[in-house]
Amino acid sequence: MTVNRVTPKRTRTVRRSALPTPPRSRETEHLGEFDYDAFISYTHHDRPVAAGIQKGLHRIGRKLGRLNALRVFRDATDVTASPDLWGKVCEAMDRSRYLIVVLSPDSVASVWVNKEVTYWLQQRGPDQLMFVVVAGHLTWDETTGRFDPDKSDVALPVLTQPGALAAEPFYVDVTDDSPWDPQTPIFREKVTDLAAPIHGKPKYELASDDLRELRRYRRVRRVAVAGLVVLTVIALIAAAVAIVQRQSAIDQRQEAIHQRNQAIALALAAESQSMLAGIRPSDARGLQQVLAAQALAPSSNEGALLDAVIARRYLLKVIEPVGRPTNAVFSPDGTRIVSGSNDKSVRQWDVATGLQIGSAMTGHQGIVGSVAFSPDGTRIVSGSNDKSVRQWDVATGLQIGSAMTGHQGLVYDVAFSPDGKRIVSSGEEYITGQVPYDPDTKDAVRQWDVATGRQIGPAMRWGGGSVAFSPDGQQIVGAAGRTVRQWDVATGNVVALPVPGRQGPGWSAKLSGLIR
């Protein structure tokens, strides 16, 4: 039987329109008319193998200071989107010196890999053609000049044609080298087998060069690390010096502040002594200043503080309640003080000791603006801007009954009647949307039954601000706006016209015992 051998064509057609020509440099001077040292043909299932081969060819034999040892074309890293993909692949093969084909069962089933090898054989022949076997076997048939299709499960269709190749081609088997990392010695050695003919050197020479460059790189890296360590030490020393200098600056600043405080304290002490001596009025201001001077410079103002204590030796107590007090009154027997506060609480204080009696009486949801004791001293009434009036038991501090509600806004003032059976309160009753605004109609005075907590009669309009009962409990007086009014307790009617001639708002009102 006569076997016809197909003589591969040696002509090259190079098309350079689709692929950009890489710039020439020292790394590419050896390429001559080619732009790539090698072209890797593979199916995407074998992408990890192709990537490992590309990395190995880039690194093996790389000179210090160069990016890559060889320029290797792989479609995943070098092909851009184009409608003529096959044309770009052909151009890349035309511009490559070697073709490396990854053979696997998947590549056998791939039309592209077989097509690329066929093109290479037609254009360049079997020279500069190498194979990498993955998960398969190749058996060469010397008689027919092809791979035996019955014994080779990774041979491409074009490689099983009689006379396809003049001799058995070079190939390496990397089946057992997963994950195909060039850092692995066995896989690196096999990639060196591929790189040696591309470099034009024997394998041992290329391996020696690679080892020498690797050692050189490690030496440079050690020097760089040592340099970084030295720089780090220098930076730490500089940081330590900066910390010391910073602490020195802080100490100097503290000394300057101390000197300034001494000067201010002396000035405050001198001025407070003048105030307390009567040269300038304002006892409270004087006490505040002498205390401030003592706080700024304790050692230098003890004399001024002692003078202030002696000058105000009749001061009995200074009570410091929680929150900001808004109102305070004595109990009828003078032994207690009750105060309302902006912290929504009512508190009792012992007059003799200045200490708080019991716990804070809480329940209001707003600022407590007014408080009062009952005539017998057993109850406390409070008014708040939460629109409510509440009673409290003096002995237990507990709320008596429910909150008395009816006011439409904040409660201005509260008071007990002389017999302790009624409570009067003034509060905001402004009607929303009232135009024009009238201060004489925006408030109301209400009476409450102490025993039941219920409102007595209708609200008495045109009142507000401060309220009080007459000594006989028959009348109520209120100051609001620019007027002072009186009402009859029984009927709720106005019993006296507004006091004329006021030029400003009335804030407080009390009735003398002469009113009948």
State the pLDDT confidence band at 516, using cuts at 50, 70 and 90.
very low
The domain 325-496 is classified under which CATH number: 1.10.230.10, 3.30.465.10, 2.130.10.10, 3.40.1160.10?
2.130.10.10
Q: What is the per-residue pLDDT for 87?
A: 86
Chain mean pLDDT for the chain: 81
Digit-coded pLDDT (tens) for 180-204 = 998 888 999 999 999 999 988 898 8
Average pLDDT over residues 363-387: 96
Rounded CA-CA distance 33/95 in Å is: 8
Q: Is 291 exposed, middle or buried (0-12, 13-18, 19+ CB in 10 A)?
A: middle
Domain locations along the chain: 26-200, 223-311, 325-496
Q: What is the per-residue pLDDT for 329?
A: 95
User: 488 by DSSP, 3-state: which?
Assistant: strand
More confident residue, 446 or 7: 446
Rounded CA-CA distance 75/42 in Å is: 9
* Listed residue (37, 103, 117, 112) closest to 73, CA to CA: 37
Q: What is the per-residue pLDDT for 80?
A: 59
Check if 26-200 and 325-496 are the same fold.
no
More confident residue, 63 or 265: 63
More confident residue, 324 or 421: 421
Q: What is the per-residue pLDDT for 3?
A: 33
Digit-coded pLDDT (tens) for 71-87 = 999 887 655 556 778 88
The domain 26-200 is classified under which CATH number: 1.20.1630.10, 3.40.50.10140, 3.20.20.70, 3.10.690.10?
3.40.50.10140
505 has pLDDT over 50? no
Q: Is 132 exposed, middle or buried (0-12, 13-18, 19+ CB in 10 A)?
A: buried
Average pLDDT over residues 44-50: 92
Digit-coded pLDDT (tens) for 94-122 = 999 999 999 999 999 888 899 999 999 99
State the pLDDT confidence band at 15, using cuts at 50, 70 and 90.
very low
Q: What is the per-residue pLDDT for 208?
A: 84
Average pLDDT over residues 372-393: 96
